[in-house]
Chain A
Amino acid sequence: GQQVMQIPQYQHVQEGEDFTTYCNSSTTLSNIQWYKQRPGGHPVFLIQLVKSGEVKKQKRLTFQFGEAKKNSSLHITATQTTDVGTYFCAGQDGMNRDDKIIFGKGTRLHILP
């Protein structure tokens, strides 16, 4: 079945440095979503990408969807302590509306002051 791999598993950065997490699928995705989970909290939706090569920005966050719709990345510029948490990507397993959504294992971001 489909697998969604996310790297790195952990990342420590100094406050102010940039951070990137990558998501790779074994199959073509119809869309990909990104979620953030703060420590002790639940995943919260950040964004959804649908089109091949799509790039979306949310303030310091930049999301990209690969041309082949098999990979995606989330880049945070000038990290802040509020960025701490685990970032998950999630892809729909197949092209049908009914297909299940598969989550990557997440990248846990630690910010060093």
Chain B
Amino acid sequence: KAGVTQTPRYLIKTRGQQVTLSCSPISGHRSVSWYQQTPGQGLQFLFEYFSETQRNKGNFPGRFSGRQFSNSRSEMNVSTLELGDSALYLCASSRRDSSYEETQYFGPGTRLLVL
């Protein structure tokens, strides 16, 4: 079956702009988590959506937001971009609804560069 897809793969924006990233999970997966990956900070958890509801949230400012649609597809939005937002944004899908089925399947990521 198809894996996790993310669009766009690459993005260049300028400070102050906003950006929306999209993630389509594996069919049947209801959980989508978003991570920011930078060389210095590793994988930092942004938030998780499960059945259209935000279930968990990391320690990021309110400029970072997300949502999930009824088909489990998720979008992440960053407003008022800052230089420090340049990173690889990864989304991961999982079932998260059965015993010990916690495996997260990552998409290829969106590489965002803020100038």
Contact = CB atoms under 8 A, between A and B. Distances in A.
B11 to A, nearest CB: 16
B27 to A, nearest CB: 17
Contact of A43 (B43, B56, B100): B43
Nearest to B33: A101
A13 B43 CA distance: 24
A88 interface: yes
B56 A33 contact: no
Interface stretch (A57-65, A71-79, A102-110): A102-110
Range for the number of chain B residues in contact with chain A: 20 to 34
Nearest to B40: A105
Interface string B84-115: 00000010100011001011111111000000
Contacts of B50: 98
B45 interface: yes
Interface of A: 31, 33, 35, 41-45, 48, 50, 88, 90, 92, 97-106
Pairs A-B, 7 closest by C-beta atoms? A105-B42, A100-B56, A103-B43, A42-B106, A43-B106, A45-B103, A42-B108
Interface of B: 33, 35, 41-43, 45, 48, 50, 55-56, 58, 90, 92, 96-97, 100, 102-109
